[in-house]
Amino acid sequence: MTDPSPGPKGLYVHLPFCASRCAYCTFVVSTERRLVGAYVEAIHRELELLDLPEGTPLETVYLGGGTPSLIGGGELAGLLRAILERHPGVPGIEVTTEANPEDLTPELLGLWTAAGINRISIGVQSFVDGELTAIGRRHDAARARAACHLLARVPSVTWNLDLILGIPGQTPESLEVSLAGALEAAPHHISVYILEMDKPHRLQELYRRHPDEFPGDDTVAGLYLRVHEVLGKAGYEHYEISNFALPGAEARHNLRYWDRRPVHALGVGAHGNDGNRRWANLESLAGYLEAIRGGERPLAWETTLSPREMLAEGLMLGLRLAAGVDRGSADAGGASFPEFGRMLEGFLQRDLAVEDAGRIFLTPEGWLLSNELFATLV
Footprint of ligand SAM (CB under 6 A)? 24-27, 65, 67, 98, 100, 123, 125, 162, 164, 193, 195-196
Helix and strand counts by DSSP (H, E) for the chain? 15, 15
SS (H, E, C) 16-59: CECCCCCCCCCCCCECCHHHHHHHHHHHHHHHHHCCCCCCCCEE
102, 126 contact by CB (below 8 A): no
Nearer to ligand SF4, 24 or 340 (CB): 24
Residue 65 binding ligand SF4, by CB under 6 A = yes
Q: Which does 164 bind (CB under 5 to 8 A by kind): ligand SAM, ligand SF4, none?
A: ligand SAM
Looking from the CA of 66 toward its CB, the CA atoms found within 13 Å total 29
- Which of 5, 21, 41, 354 lies at the binding interface for ligand SF4 (CB under 6 A)? 21
Tell me the C-alpha to C-alpha distance, in Å, between residue 101 and each of 69, 107, 168, 301, 372. 9, 14, 21, 34, 35
Query: Binding of ligand SF4 at residue 269 (CB under 6 A)?
Result: no
Residues shown for the chain:
378
Contact predicate 8/59, CB 8 Å: yes
Binding partner of residue 102 among ligand SAM, ligand SF4, none, CB cut-off 5 to 8 Å per kind? none
CA distance linking residue 79 with residue 104, whole number of Å: 19
Reduce the DSSP state of residue 270 to 3 states and report it.
coil
Q: Binding ligand SF4 by CB under 6 A: which of 9, 47, 59, 66?
A: 66
User: Listing from the earlier edge strand, what are the strands of the sheet with 353-356?
Assistant: 325-326, 359-362, 353-356
Please answer whether residues 312 and 339 qualify as being in contact, where contact means their C-beta atoms are separated by less than 8 angstroms. Answer: no
Nearer to ligand SF4, 13 or 377 (CB): 13
Does 118 bind ligand SF4 (CB under 6 A)? Our answer is no
CB of 339 to ligand SAM, least distance (A): 27
The residue nearest ligand SAM at its CB is 123
Q: Minimal distance in Å, beta carbon 206 to ligand SAM? A: 13
Any contact of residue 30 with ligand SF4 (CB under 6 A)? Answer: no
Contact string (CB under 6 A) for ligand SF4, positions 119-158, x = contact: ----x-----------------------------------
Radius of gyration of the chain (CA): 21
Residue number, 23 or 292, with CB nearest to ligand SAM: 23
Q: Which residues are paired to 266 by β-bridges?
A: 13
Of 14-22, 172-180, 224-232, 304-312: span binding ligand SF4 (CB under 6 A): 14-22
Indicate whether 242 belongs to the interface with ligand SF4 (CB under 6 A): no
Q: Which is nearer to ligand SAM, 23 or 373 (CB)?
A: 23
- Confirm or reject binding of residue 185 to ligand SF4 (CB under 6 A): no
- Comparison of 132 and 321: residue with beta carbon closer to ligand SF4: 132
Rounded alpha-carbon distances, angstroms, from residue 357 to 75, 294, 324, 332, 343: 49, 54, 11, 18, 21
22 near ligand SF4, rule: CB under 6 A: yes
Question: Measured from the CB atom, is 270 or 325 closer to ligand SAM?
Answer: 270
* CA pair distance 44, 289, nearest whole angstrom: 12
61 binds, among ligand SF4, ligand SAM, none (CB under 5 to 8 A by kind): none
**Of ligand SAM, ligand SF4, none, which one sits near residue 21, judging by CB under 5 to 8 A according to partner kind?**
ligand SF4
25 binds ligand SF4 (CB under 6 A): yes
The answer to whether 256 and 270 have CB atoms below 8 angstroms apart is no
Q: What is the DSSP letter of 135?
A: T
67 near ligand SF4 (CB under 6 A): yes
Residues that bind ligand SF4 (CB under 6 A): 18, 21-22, 25, 27, 29, 65-67, 100, 123
